Amino acid sequence: MTQAKLKIEKMSSLLSTVAAQSERHLIEAEADLRQTTFLLNTAIENLGASFETIHQVVAKQQHVLDYLISCDSVTEGVVLDISLAKQKMSEEINQMMTDLQFQDMTSQLINRAINHLVELKSLMVLLAASSKRTEFNSTDQSIQELFNEMHADICAKLPAISDKSVNQLSMSPGEISLF
């Protein structure tokens, strides 16, 4: 066996090992992201239901307070306190609903990350398959042709990386920046 062929076999073995190990890590990362998505969606659904219940209870409470105010049995100081509390509660509920909308953005980012992992996993499979080729001889030209073919195969089967879809850095109202 020539020195060049031995080097190619070692390189091939190294590429196969790297590809296999990388694929296992990518599978685990993808599974973790999918589980995170599930947990995030469940938490958001529960929070949304809780916020809706709070809103309904506060609305009922507001009707009672409005009735008491209309009966003239409450002092102006109490009326002002009730009015301020009503305004603050409304602001807080609106802020909570805005915060819930960021779940959609987070889901988009997680799905993008999953897509990148799936594409990278495909690359590792292609790399492993390409590294197992044995139809070469020991000339420098045939080695170069082999690597060129491997490169062309990998490039042809991988999609281009798209631009970042979400640029959000803050959760302030009015700061939503999708796509």
CATH number at residue 29: 1.10.287
Is 162 domain-assigned? no
Would you say residue 122 lies in a domain?
Answer: yes
Q: Which residues contact 132 (CB under 8 A, 6 or more apart)?
A: 12, 16
pTM: 0.55
Q: Is residue 143 part of a domain?
A: yes
Q: Is residue 179 part of a domain?
A: no
Domain count, the chain: 1
97 found inside a domain: yes
Span 37-78, pLDDT tens digits? 888 888 888 888 888 888 888 888 888 878 887 887 778 888
Given the structure tokens 């390409």, which residue do they identify? 130
DSSP state of 166: B
How many Å apart are CA 102 and CA 104, to the nearest integer?
Answer: 5
- 25 assigned to some structural domain: yes
Contact between 122 and 19 under an 8 Å Cβ cutoff? The reply is: no
pLDDT, residue 179, reads 41
Range of the domain at 140: 3-157
* Closest C-alpha among 104, 102, 115 to residue 34: 115
Q: Which residue has the tokens 């809706």?
A: 52
| 11 part of a folded domain | yes
CA angle 102, 104, 105 (to 5 degrees): 65
Residues 6 or more apart in contact with residue 85 via CB below 8 angstroms: none
Task: Quote the pLDDT of residue 105.
Answer: 77
Low-confidence ranges of the chain (pLDDT < 70): 1, 4, 131-140, 143, 157-179
Decide if 178 is inside a domain: no
